[in-house]
Structure 1
Amino acid sequence: MSPVVVRRLALRALELLGVLLIASIGVFALVVLLPGDPAVDILGAGKSPADYAALRQDLGLDRALVARYVDWLGSALTGDLGRSVVPPQSDVTDRVLSALPVSLEIAGLGLLVAALIAVPLAMWSAYREGSAVDRLVSAGTFGALSVPSFLAGLLLILVLVNSAGWFPRSEWVRLSDGSLWGNLHHAFLPALTVALAELAMFTRVLRSDLIGTLRENYVLAARAKGMPPLRILLKDALRPSSFSLVTLLGLSLGRLIGSTVVVEYLFGLPGMGSLIVNAANQGDYPMVQGAVLTIAVIYVVINAGIDFSYGLLDPRTRRVHL
């Protein structure tokens, strides 16, 4: 690896660390600067001022914000996100590590389902631009984007759970329990719920990019030579048209991990969304800080990985994205 590439990689790593530092400051300030008193949230109203003061001192809330942030960040860098201040006062890291796989699986499986359907659908629609199939795909994806996730989830529950009885609603089976089929059976419907809007967005974006690529001279030449449509789409058109799709995949994964609150609530899933909502309702600020920081780090790292992947999709962009 040349010294120039090493230097560029080092600069990108420093940029990533800077973004993570800014994200940690934002997470800390988001919770600390919110109106209200954590001591009152934890003890409830009606206690004596001495009780509130003692709890604030015990939690370190009477210290300067900068000192509190430095201590919190230093502990977080070692993997210690603190302890819950709400009984049973469990370890925040343990709770996050327990909830994170659920959200990751739902988000990842949802994106996989969306991509597996969106890619061939967009290719078919783009190759037959202006046809009845193209118009049907465009109308269907527009309709899917118009349906909120909570409404899509309710409809799926009504049809596939309550009426057909094909899927359970308020249960979860972890992979650690040894049942892959049981896990997928419980995860598929929530994943399908989050996949619907992503599927529509992926299809529309990839279709648009494919249409532009299919009008390039080298593709027109391949079509004039009688090359099979599937070979043209897979070999010549799909790869250079995938930049926007790859970006959306990464952004969607990071976003879905933190935004599956409604879906997790509808299906009774013990994921990050449920963890954050319950902690916020109880005034458990260390739990909120730890969970939100974890999501922010995942989001930033995923986007950095996407940036590096551009060079793999098209070698011409390596100098720009390194």
Structure 2
Amino acid sequence: MFTGMELRHLRYFVTVVAEGNLARAAARLRVAQSALSRQIQDLERELGAPLLARLPRGMQPTEAGRVFLAHAQRALAAADAGAHAVRDVVAGAAGTLRIGTVDWGEHVARIGLAVDCLRARMPAATVTFDPTAWTEQPAAIAAGRMDAGFCPAVRLTDLPSALDGEALAEEPVDRVVLSSTHPLARHEAVTLRELVEVPMLLPERAVYPAMYDHCVAELRRSGREPRVIVAPPSPAASAGLVAAGAGFILGFRSLMRTPPPGTVVLPIRDASITVRLFALRRKDDERPLVRAFLACLRDAYHEQHPHESADESAASWS
């Protein structure tokens, strides 16, 4: 008993129309001619109309058959496209890649180059950007909320053990952001001994323990214990607190090209920390899509002159 239309009925019908002959269609489909004839008859009963006219020289679609043919072809094309999309996902050439970003210096342009490269290599893939602050990206990746992201660190072991990282670039942490009304703002540069007299703003230690410890240890080199004020993970929020006179924040050289409103950026004469920007993924995430993005990042960071607008070269504090 025929219980409903299936894709194979559509494929049989379309093939018979294309061949114009039941025997040739059966050979192309690799089914018995009698079985193919029964399937066409079942389809016609289901639709309540003859779809094919049996003529001495072959078979041609009836008026109802011509109307149904267009719909059958679209349905088969959609099914084939769906199957192809699934195969792409399984093969790693499609799917959604959730990535974090950094918003300072040349990294903006280089990450943009990497995303363009990935889209060219895997056009079926979708890239979405996650606004999570870089201080929180390692935890988000480890928890599976993001697929790849970035975080500056002194060494890879500073980051969660569940993550694998690749160093893309390195730079010193030798800039300080101070309120433009602070007495030190009139100096051309500052020392750690001068800074230790001012509260240092840092996200709470649980957000990024290693970097917290590196910053505290840097100020301790002055011979004094720093005063730490817990600040938001967002650089923009911390910069607002600095402008209001709450204290200072340490920063990377490229992050500090343009001072946030109400602040000044000064060099630290005796700074000693150098950080590397790591591209991160979970160690157990071996998907080709993730690996392809990391390969594109490598290529982007080997480019000598990435496109970089005037706005992109400065920090984004919004």
In proportion to residue count, which structure has more strand? Answer: 2
Give the TM-score of the pair, scaled to structure 2: 0.21
User: Whose Rg is larger?
Assistant: 2
Q: Relative contact order (alpha carbons < 8 A, sep ≥ 6): 1 or 2 greater?
A: 1
